[in-house]
Amino acid sequence: MQDFDAIVVGAGAAGLFCAGVAGQRGLRVLVLDHSGKVAEKVRISGGGRANFTNRELDAQAPHKHFISANPHFCRSALSRYTPADFVALVQRHGIAFHEKHKGQLFCDRSAEDLIQMLLRECEAGGVERWQPCGVKAVRQGGDGLYELDTERGTVRSRAVVVATGGLSIPKIGATDFGYRIAKQFDLRLVEQRPGLVPLTFDGDAWAPYAGLAGLALPVRIETGDKKARMAFMEDLLFTHRGLSGPGVLQISSYWQAGSPIRLNLSPEGELQAALARAKATSRKLLVNELAGLVPSRLAEAWVQQDPEWQRPVAEASDKALARLAERLSRWEITPTGTEGYKKAEVTLGGVDTRDLSSQTMESKQAGLYFIGEVVDVTGWLGGYNFQWAWSSAHACAQAL
């Protein structure tokens, strides 16, 4: 039986980073993963260029960008290992990167550069990696050491780090392993559901928009009421089954089943004033005037819904124009569901932070740590979830 100082289960962003840092601090570390590939989520993220962090993250108020039953839990790790710290590591490895809008940082060339960086960090720490190598059982012996039965034999360690991610994108190897281990050791779980996921619609309410697949436009999107209200200004994309794009992915993490979403399809424009001006000066059809304010396919789909909108703008009543402007700027529609884990970028919920130390990521089960997406901490779209992976992994490695 081989002994290690720490065994990390999961060769993704959090697992590899934690192993590399711990190894370089002198620990003998083993990484196990049931898949032969490493960091698949890094590889496919950001269109293959890995949106690896976000400069706008506010470490003093991280709950602004994260969802959790305890939104303050992530503050400690995020303020001790910041986006600037990770950027410094990326620069040390000579990886070129660029900033897109809203603080999002991407590799210039490929996400593969970032994966190779993580592997080099592990090599520098003398980390052993067994892949593919599934874990069949985890138990704690009488001496307090953990024993893991793996497909390559039994290994032993005083510390086990669970970095197995959530349930999203099963085709790249996502499993519920982390949640099963938490349950085995009597740790609480916050119910899981898909996050950063496209929303689906069907029935008569959706029929007028079913033909708009591929259409994208900037919108203001919101859901919830009073204190629970959340809104984003982002792009919207119509799909064959519903709505996607950054705005919808963001709002999906806050959306509750059965409740509506509200969209302003012309957030920059004063629709009512523009249509009133057109009525006074134009002889065009209303649909043609509207096509100057929103995409023409959207204008056509919208005016089909009311005979009063299917006429020259000069002949439309003020009431009809006001109704059209109001509908476009406060379009309320209730999703029937989401595209589920197969299209979700993250998993909401996970290991309950009440059973974890925010300083070390160690659970109340001594020697058992949880980091990354398996924990009930979910970031916004735009590099926040990767930063949580790096920060939680770093906090854990320091503690190990």
Beta bridge partners of 189: 351
Q: What is the mean pLDDT of the chain?
A: 96
Tens digits of pLDDT across the chain (400 residues): 899 999 999 999 999 999 999 999 999 999 999 999 999 999 999 999 999 999 999 988 988 999 999 999 999 999 999 999 999 999 999 999 999 989 999 999 999 999 999 999 999 999 999 999 999 999 999 899 999 999 999 999 999 999 999 999 999 999 999 999 999 999 999 999 999 999 999 988 899 999 999 999 999 999 999 988 999 999 999 999 999 999 999 999 999 999 999 999 999 878 999 999 999 999 999 999 999 999 999 999 999 999 999 999 999 999 999 999 999 999 999 999 999 999 999 999 999 999 999 999 999 999 999 999 999 999 999 999 999 999 999 999 999 9
Percent of the chain topping pLDDT 70: 100
For 399, other C-beta atoms within 10 Å of its C-beta total 15
Beta bridge partners of 375: 351
**Can you give the pLDDT at residue 157?**
98
- Residues with Cβ < 8 Å from 181, sequence gap 6 or more? 9, 138, 162, 368
Conformation bin of residue 188: beta by default, left when phi > 0, alpha when psi is -120 to 50: beta
Whole-prediction pTM: 0.95
pLDDT in tens, 300-357: 999 999 999 999 999 999 999 999 999 999 999 999 999 999 999 999 999 999 999 9
pLDDT in tens, 85-99: 999 999 999 999 999
